[in-house]
Amino acid sequence: MVKITGIEFRNPTILASGIMGTTGASLVRMTNSGAGAVVTKSIGPEPKIGHPNPSMVKLDCGFLNAMGLPNPSYADFVNEIKIAKEGADVPVIASIFGGNAEEFVRVAEGLADAKPDAFELNVSCPHAEGYGATIGTDSCMVEAITAAVCDAVDVPVWVKLTPNVTDIKSIGKAAENGGAAAVVAINTLRGMAIDINSGYPILGNRFGGLSGSAVKPVAIKCVYDLYEALDIPVIGVGGVSSWEDAVEMIMAGASAVQIGSAVHEGVEVFADIATGIEQFLQNNGYAGVEDITGLAHEVI
């Protein structure tokens, strides 16, 4: 059992936003696969069809994606969260986005009826004009939006950060100052792939975000830095596909880990990683995840 921002999780693995989070039923399936909590896809104020395909490509080093925040709007998605809450025996966290504080608040209030256990603010999507990282690279906007949502809801607010900034600590600090209960680091790194036969960028949006094992060292460093700079918990995400990756992320400072692209290898990844972490803790005489959270800061 892990407790973060007042919410209890049966294990420290969480389904990352944008993965298998389109419907209530798919979220429930992920909880049945062992996830300790699930985050929905990012939901916005209006229905959005996203970018044209190709929208996700597996490369040798990871995955490139540019979905473009496709979503049915909060008005439509309330019912999916209700289905997830009814069918899941773990916390359900609503990921939301907007173009400004007013839109974020409208979406959060609109979804509040479905009683998500927390909100995760997407200020980090790297390829949606006017949304995501456009906002998340501006610490003033991050603080203002976080404060506005915190005022509007009575559950914890997490803020998912972009690594596409000069200093992620300053953005993390802005989220903390705004009242965030936790930060989630990191979203994808800006990337691009080009088809050399035709010269066409492969993604329909031309560029997108890199995830998977290639970004893990970047995520580890961001989590390490944020753990040092902030007083609120850090939830690590980026390239975690094994229990060893998860333990490494936790030792960098993460209180829990989110898992995204690794679902490609099989939905049982959550149970595998949770079991592996538990075994590691037992084998090494640790009482819980908190015993190794940030360990890398203490040993030197």
One residue of 4, 7, 28, 223 binding other proteins per CB under 8 A: 28
Q: Is 162 in the site for other proteins (CB under 8 A)?
A: no
Name the segment binding other proteins (CB under 8 A); options: 23-31, 153-161, 175-183, 229-237.
Answer: 23-31
Block residue for tokens 């506005």:
148
Q: Active site includes 125? A: yes
CA distance 254 to 219: 10
Q: Is 13 in the site for other proteins (CB under 8 A)?
A: no
Do 98 and 45 contact (CB within 8 A), yes or no? yes
Q: How many chain residues are in contact with other proteins, going by CB under 8 A?
A: 44
Give DSSP secondary structure letters for 72-123. --HHHHHHHHHHHHHH-SS-EEEEE--SSHHHHHHHHHHHHTT--SEEEEE-
Instruction: Supply the minimum distance, in Å, between the C-beta of residue 87 and other proteins.
Output: 9
Amino acid making up residue 238:
G
Do 55 and 204 contact (CB within 8 A), yes or no? yes
Q: Is 192 in the site for other proteins (CB under 8 A)?
A: no
Taking phi first (over 0 means left), then psi (-120 to 50 degrees means alpha), and beta for anything else, what does residue 299 get? alpha
CA distance 224 to 210: 20
- The pair of structure tokens assigned to 195 is 């088809």
One residue of 152, 221, 264, 278 binding other proteins per CB under 8 A: 264
Name the segment binding other proteins (CB under 8 A); options: 15-23, 96-104, 168-176, 248-256.
Answer: 15-23
Catalytic residue among 125, 140, 150, 222: 125
Instruction: Supply the minimum distance, in Å, between the C-beta of residue 37 and other proteins.
Output: 16
Toward other proteins, which CB reaches closer, 124 or 205? 205
Query: Which positions ≥6 away from 294 have C-beta within 8 Å?
Result: 227, 251, 252, 253
Residue numbers in the known binding site for FMN are 17, 41-42, 122, 160, 186, 212, 238-239, 260-261
Binding positions for other proteins, rule: CB under 8 A: 18-23, 25-30, 41, 47-50, 52-59, 63, 65, 67, 70-73, 76, 193, 195, 197-198, 200, 202, 204, 260-261, 263-264
